[in-house]
Amino acid sequence: MKAVDLMEREFDEPTANARVMIHHVSITEALAYKEKLEAIDGVTEVTWLDDVIDVKEPLEMADPDLVEPYYKNETALISLHIREGDEVETVDRIYELIGEENAVAGEAVDTAVSQKMAGQESFNAALLLIPILIIILVLSTTSWIEPLFFLIAIGVSVLINMGANVFVGEISFVTQSVAPILQLAVSMDYAIFLLHSFSNHRKQISDPGEAMRRAIKESFPAIAASASTTFFGFIALSFMEFGIGADLGLNLVKGIAFSFLSVIVFLPALTLMFYKWIDRTQHPPLVPKWKGFGERVLKLRIPVFIALMLLIVPAFLAQSQTSFVYGLGEQPETSRAGADAAAIREAFGENSTMVLLVPKGDPGKEEKLVQRLEELPRIKSVTSYVNTVSPAIPSEYLEESAAKSFYSDNYARIILNAETDSEGEEAFSLVDEVRRTAESYYDEVHLLGESVTLYDIKKTVERDHAIVNLLTISSIALVLLFTFRSLSIPVVLLLTIQSAVWLNLSVPYFTDSSLVYVGYLIISTVQLAATVDYGILLTDTYRNLRQEMPAMEAIKKTLDDKLFSILTPASILSTVGFILFFTSSNPIVSSIGLLLGRGALLAFGMVVIALPAMLILFDRVIEKTTLRPNFYQGKGGC
């Protein structure tokens, strides 16, 4: 960003962020297309072959290395810069100009596609999600109208949160696509906890107001603990140096606060006003109680615990060896943007542009640097004053237009075209090599370009990962410590959920697929913060029952009573994730969706199968490391 700011101050001409490929054109026709592109509002700079050589001379006389990056087989490749903020409108105008048979690709096109689809895809996801949520909630309740109360309570908080973004000023399109749906998914269980408790108390107490007061008192610790773990997990995202993560974290922090207030303040009032509607729309349970589930799970507690111990280390090592994509990821080839990018690669090969700024004033040193850069592997061409004009001709002797692309008052600009993708080991190694080569000649070096940006993102988010993970785990551990007043329960819960996170993030390694790093970083926090709620509910219920009965009986009853209460939010979160995966063309959003959907299912499995095994096996340890546990000491023991 420092290099970009410097170049914008020093040079009038920006670097290209898009390329247009025109088939079946002569030199004259390509020049006509260039003029039409220059006339489009939003296009600030257009570069083609005529800016490099004299196209009035026969092309056969020119150096093929100079011609072929711009024109071959009657196909022209024109580079241009699209003004930031105008990508959507400008790319649409370019599509109108070039038609379906030609292609346009580049950073600006990716940005335009992502921005254009963010709102539409969120709407499409909501259209799919809401009916599925209603079905899940109807199956989990005994009233046809009760699911509407859940959706209204959380929906109001989502709308308030989205409206509050006006005070933030600007949010990323990733946040716009993910945050509303994610807020709905991770906070729905607060409403479920409260209304399930209210329904249970209604069976014993005739006064709805008293039943609600008891429901709030009973469910508040679980809701507050769940909201706190999610809240602090998202706060950890806000500390990311990388803007998208911090932006999403801040948005979700607001969302969780609004959801918590809505469930504790608004939902009780709404329920008490319309509880008669709930009574009038009662129906028998549509899903039978899974009695005996707890007993079946406990028979497997030893094999389950051994399997967990055997899986943790490989999963941890595998997730740390996954190959990552640090940009937006490639657009699918089924889309216009993806097909166009593939067509340009097929016709002209991989291309990545870098711009090098070095201090002006020493043409001899600049010439030596350019010669060294031209010798680097994977460098297709180097364009500078010294090899385009001549180091022997002072730039002051030429017209300003002839030198302004290469020299400002203080800096020389050198443009490099490389035969690499925008990212990957090869691209990042070349960035390092170009920088080292330039630094061997100059003390002050500034390098920019898409590869350089992604290389900086890679280094930034890797630092973020350590900070975010540390903050997430430590903040959730503190919440659990104060909630359960125990040293061992936070360890058991975090081990359970973190194991699910590692298993989830290890899948790309075992399937030999790349993962968008932003999705990896965000989901490692979101899955832990959102699904630890299931463990809190199960452990809190078990702890209360453990005061009345032996451990085995307590865990059996806990699983039988709470299985469906955990399955409901887990299925909602998983459904949200898979819907984002299937509906989004944005690789970041799609990656987050897949990880979220799979992660919620893994977390559910770990909580209802592995966590009970650990609670039983470590019952004595938990009793001795918990403040005033008051565990049942009668006949039966553990």
Question: What is the average pLDDT value for the chain, to the nearest integer?
Answer: 86
User: 267-274 — which CB contacts under 8 Å span 24+ positions?
Assistant: 267/149, 267/153, 267/191, 267/194, 267/195, 268/194, 268/212, 268/215, 268/216, 270/149, 270/152, 270/153, 271/149, 271/195, 271/198, 271/212, 272/208, 272/209, 272/212, 274/145, 274/149
* Residue 103 to residue 95: CA distance in whole angstroms: 8
Residue 482: C-alpha distances to residues 477, 479, 485, 488 (Å): 9, 5, 5, 12
DSSP-derived secondary structure letter, 281 = T
| Band of residue 33 on the pLDDT scale cut at 50, 70, 90 | very high
Contacts from 305-308 at CB under 8 Å and sequence distance 24+?
305/610, 305/613, 305/614, 305/617, 308/499, 308/606, 308/610, 308/613
Same-domain status, 282 and 296: no
pLDDT at 328: 65
Query: Considering only 113-117, 391-395, 430-434, which range has the smallest mean pLDDT?
Result: 391-395
The pLDDT assigned to 545 comes to 92
Residues 298, 277 within the same domain: no
State the pLDDT confidence band at 118, using cuts at 50, 70 and 90: low
3-state SS, one letter per residue, for 342-360? HHHHHHHCCCEEEEEEEEC
250: Cβ contacts below 8 Å, ≥ 6 apart: 168, 237, 238
pLDDT score of 401: 59
* Domain span holding position 367: 337-454
DSSP summary character for residue 49: G
Quote the crossing angle between the two packed helices 517-546 and 450-484, to the nearest 10°: 10
Q: Supply the pLDDT for residue 398.
A: 63
What is the full DSSP assignment across 550-610? -HHHHHHHHHHHHHHHHHHHHHHHHHHHHHHHHH--SHHHHHHHHHHHHHHHHHHHIIIII
Residue 76's pLDDT is 94
pTM above threshold 0.85: no
Tell me how far apart the alpha carbons of residues 590 and 580 are, in angstroms, rounded to a whole number: 6
CA distance 544 to 300: 24
Whether the per-residue pLDDT at 500 is higher than 70: the answer is yes
Domain count, the chain: 4
- Residue 380 pLDDT: 83
The band of 542, judged by pLDDT with boundaries at 50, 70 and 90, is: very high
Q: What is the pLDDT of residue 119?
A: 64
Predicted local distance difference test score (pLDDT) of residue 400: 60
| Residue 164 and residue 209 in one domain | yes
For residues 495 and 605, state if they share a domain: yes
DSSP 51: G
pLDDT surpasses 60 at 638: no
249-288 per-position pLDDT tens digit: 889 999 999 999 999 999 999 999 998 998 899 888 787 7
How far apart CA 295 and CA 301 sit, in angstroms, is 10
Say whether both 153 and 268 belong to one domain.
yes
pLDDT value of position 553: 92
The closest of 223, 355, 317, 254 to 215, measured between CA atoms, is 223
pLDDT at 122 over 60: yes
Q: Name the residue with higher pLDDT: 53 or 447.
A: 447
Question: Above 60 in pLDDT, residue 636?
Answer: no
Same domain, 374 and 507: no
pLDDT at 412 over 60: yes
Query: Which range (295-309, 326-340, 583-597) has the least confidence?
Result: 326-340
Q: In whole angstroms, what is the distance from residue 358 CA to residue 486 CA? A: 60
Residue 270: the pLDDT is 93
What is the rounded distance in angstroms from the CA atom of residue 600 to the CA atom of residue 501?
A: 9
Same domain, 58 and 191: no
Residues 537 and 591 reside in one and the same domain: yes
Q: Is the Cβ–Cβ distance between 534 and 343 less than 8 Å?
A: no
How is residue 403 written in tokens? 């030198």
Q: What is the mean pLDDT of residues 526-543?
A: 85
269 and 182 part of one domain: yes
Residue 472 vs residues 239, 289, 477, 552, 573: alpha-carbon distances, Å: 11, 35, 8, 32, 20
Contacts of 561 (CB under 8 A, 6+ apart): 541
CA gyration radius, the chain: 30
pLDDT at 365: 92
Rounded CA separation 419/382 (Å): 12
- The label of the residue with tokens 């690709």 reads 105
Calculate mean pLDDT across residues 43-61: 85
Under DSSP, the state recorded for 325 is E
Per-residue confidence band for 619, with pLDDT thresholds at 50, 70 and 90: very high
Are 214 and 264 in the same domain? Answer: yes
Most confident of 84-88, 305-309, 330-334, 434-438: 434-438
> What span, in angstroms and rounded, lies between the C-alpha atoms of 565 and 296?
19
Lowest mean pLDDT among 399-408, 434-443, 467-476: 399-408
> How much is the average pLDDT of 7-30?
88
Nearest to 2 by CA among 447, 375, 413: 447
pLDDT at 342 over 60: yes
Predicted local distance difference test score (pLDDT) of residue 169:
76
Out of 284-293, 481-490, 618-627, which region has the weakest mean confidence (pLDDT)?
284-293
Q: Write out the two tokens for 420.
A: 């690499």
From the list 80, 72, 86, 6, the residue with the least C-alpha distance to 37 is 80
Q: What is the pLDDT of residue 205?
A: 87
pLDDT band for position 327 (cuts 50, 70, 90) = confident
* pLDDT tens-place string over residues 284-307: 878 777 777 888 888 888 898 898
Distance, CA of 476 to CA of 484 (rounded, Å):
12
d(CA 201, CA 199): 6
Let me know whether 498 and 635 are in one domain: yes
HEC sequence for 225-240? HHHHHHHHHHHHHHCC
Q: What residue type is assigned to position 262 of the chain?
A: S
Contact 613, 304 (CB under 8 A): yes
Q: For residue 627, what pLDDT band results from cuts at 50, 70 and 90?
A: very high
Taking residues 141-146, report their average pLDDT: 87
Q: How many CB atoms lie within 10 A of CB 440?
A: 11
Task: Please check whether residue 6 lies inside any domain of the structure.
Answer: no
* Average pLDDT, integer, range 134-147: 86
pLDDT at residue 90 tops 70 = yes
CATH of the domain at 341: 3.30.70.920
Specify the pLDDT at position 113: 83
Angle at 383 between CA 377 and CA 389, to 5 degrees: 135
Amino acid identity for residue 629 in this structure: P
DSSP state letters, 357-411: EEESS-HHHHHHHHHHHHHSTTEEEEE-HHHHT-TTS-GGGS-HHHHTTTB-SSE
C-alpha closest to that of 536 among 163, 130, 230, 199: 230
CA angle, corner 583, sides to 130 and 165, nearest 5? 70
Q: Looking at this protein, which amino acid is placed at residue 300?
A: L
In a domain, 507, yes or no: yes
- The DSSP bridge partners found for residue 414 are 356
User: Which run of H or of E encompasses 461?
Assistant: helix 450-484
Per-residue model confidence as pLDDT tens digits over 414-470: 989 888 888 888 889 999 999 999 999 999 999 998 889 889 888 887 777 778 888
Q: Which residues pair with 324 in a beta bridge?
A: 515
The number of beta carbons lying within 10 Å of the beta carbon of residue 410 is 13
Of all residues in the chain, the percent with pLDDT exceeding 70 is 96
Tell me whether residue 326 is in a domain: no
pLDDT at 160: 94
| 20 SS3 class | strand
If asked whether residues 201 and 301 sit together in one domain, one would say no
- 85 three-state secondary structure: coil
Burial string for 419-430 (b: 16+ CB within 10 Å, else e) reads bbbbbbebbbeb
For residue 193, give the CATH number of its domain. Answer: 1.20.1640.10
Q: Does residue 8 lie within any of the structural domains?
A: no
Tell me the average pLDDT across 392-415. Answer: 75
Q: Which residues, in sequence order, are CB contacts of 259 under 8 Å at separation 6+?
A: 154, 157, 158, 183, 187, 190, 227
Residue 392 lies in a domain: yes
